[in-house]
């Protein structure tokens, strides 16, 4: 198959999704307003931050199913610390540190022990979710206000821009620079493309893979900060299924599930596109349950397209 045709085939699901989403959006006159677009950015911020961390893992050839559970455990930890009187700065540091440590646990087992990423993160999903339940003793902690400032914002023309959306945008830009403009980022792509070749070329693959999972944990910690600023309650079932949303955002944005390809900006754009589609589904009067259907369909379709494109390259 000629290379241009392979490229078109590989991008066909993205093209069809964009066309379909635009067709739905154009049916609603009030969709393309500053308020609606700003709301989409804000609503996408939490999953968007998770997608940024997920992109590091996927590009590096891994897979992280524990992001939602890490977020819940970090939120539970911050909820307990806020009850002890910790100030916002200390809670912020604790959230990011806890996320980094939880991600490093995944990285240790995948990189050092060499367990399968799917099995590892599926196991830690259950462990972290259970730990959050134990820490909270099965009861939510309401009134967690240490991060409430994150849910405020500022006026930009006719739209209100939330700081949550700003954090998401800045995080996407900074991590794009890291992946595209640093040696570390180039090594992540090399790791996902061919880990053995990267090792023979002098890349410390064990440490590097551990860092990709640690960064996913760090993203979960940041997402927990945004979520607590919004909901102001710590619950053990917080962010259930968010890891699937982050994976869907990545694959929509062109991040390969087989590693070595994609970008953080693509993952962020994929998250915004999916959120826009969900917003349109809601505005069109469809039940919320359609979101689950759309997420599963997107992951399967894009994974199949990526596999077919790779197979065409090897042929």
In a domain, 288, yes or no: yes
Span 204-250, pLDDT tens digits: 999 999 999 999 999 999 999 999 999 999 999 999 989 989 998 99
> Which tens digit of pLDDT belongs to each residue from 250-309?
988 889 888 888 899 989 988 988 888 777 777 767 777 777 787 777 778 777 777 777
Q: How many helices (H) and strands (E) does the chain have?
A: 12, 4
Token pair in block for residue 265: 């900006």
Q: What CATH number is attached to the domain comprising 158?
A: 1.10.3470
Q: What is the model's pLDDT at position 66?
A: 96
CB 280 within 8 Å of CB 21: yes
Residue 17 placed within a domain: no
Residues 6+ apart with CB under 8 A from 200: none
Q: What are the residues facing 34 on neighbouring strands?
A: none
Q: 9 lies in a domain?
A: no
In a domain, 8, yes or no: no
pTM for the model stands at 0.89
Residue 14 lies in a domain: no
Q: Identify whether 64 is part of a domain.
A: yes
> Is 66 inside a domain boundary?
yes
Which range is least confidently modeled, 149-163, 179-193, 286-300?
A: 286-300
How many degrees, rounded to 5, is the angle at CA 171 between CA 51 and CA 69?
40
64 Ramachandran zone, left/alpha/beta (phi>0; psi -120 to 50): beta
For the chain, the domain total comes to 1
Distance separating alpha carbons of residues 174 and 6, to the nearest angstrom:
31
Arithmetic mean of pLDDT, 145-154: 87
Q: Which of 101, 61, 124, 96 is nearest to 224 (CA)?
A: 96
pLDDT digits (tens, 9 = 90+) for 109-123: 999 999 999 999 999
CB-based contact 280:24 (threshold 8 Å): yes
- Residue 6 belongs to some domain of the structure: no
Mean pLDDT of 174-203: 93
Query: In 3-state terms, what secondary structure has residue 128?
Result: helix
Structural domain span for residue 120: 31-314
Pick the closest to residue 93 from 196, 204, 221 (CA basis). 221
């Amino acid at each position: 198959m000629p290379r241009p045709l392979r490229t078109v085939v590989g991008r066909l699901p993205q093209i069809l999704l964009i066309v379909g989403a635009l067709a739905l959006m154009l049916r609603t006159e009030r969709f393309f307003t500053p308020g609606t677009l700003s709301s989409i950015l804000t609503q996408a911020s939490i999953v968007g931050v998770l997608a940024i961390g997920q992109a590091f893992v996927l590009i590096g050839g891994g897979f992280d199913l524990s992001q939602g559970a890490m977020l819940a455990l970090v939120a539970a930890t911050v909820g307990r610390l806020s009850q002890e009187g910790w100030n916002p700065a200390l809670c912020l540091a604790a959230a990011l540190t806890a996320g980094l440590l939880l991600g490093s646990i995944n990285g240790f087992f995948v990189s050092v022990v060499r367990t399968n990423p799917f099995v590892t993160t599926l196991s830690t999903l259950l462990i972290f979710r259970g730990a959050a339940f134990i820490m909270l003793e099965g009861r939510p902690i309401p009134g967690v206000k240490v991060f409430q400032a994150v849910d405020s914002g500022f006026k930009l023309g006719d739209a209100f821009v939330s700081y949550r959306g700003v954090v998401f945008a800045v995080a996407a830009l900074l991590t794009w620079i890291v992946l595209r403009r640093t040696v570390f980022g180039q090594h992540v792509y090399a790791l996902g493309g061919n880990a053995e070749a990267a090792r023979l070329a002098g890349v410390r693959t064990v440490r590097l893979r551990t860092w990709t999972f640690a960064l996913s944990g760090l993203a979960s910690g940041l997402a927990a900060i945004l979520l607590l600023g919004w909901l102001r309650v710590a619950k053990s079932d917080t962010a259930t299924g968010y890891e699937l949303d982050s994976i869907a955002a990545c694959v929509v944005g062109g991040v390969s599930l087989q590693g070595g390809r994609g970008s953080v900006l693509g993952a962020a754009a994929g998250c915004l596109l999916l959120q826009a589609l969900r917003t349109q589904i809601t505005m069109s009067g469809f039940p919320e349950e359609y979101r689950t259907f759309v997420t599963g369909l997107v992951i399967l379709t894009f994974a199949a397209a990526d596999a077919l494109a790779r197979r065409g390259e090897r042929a």
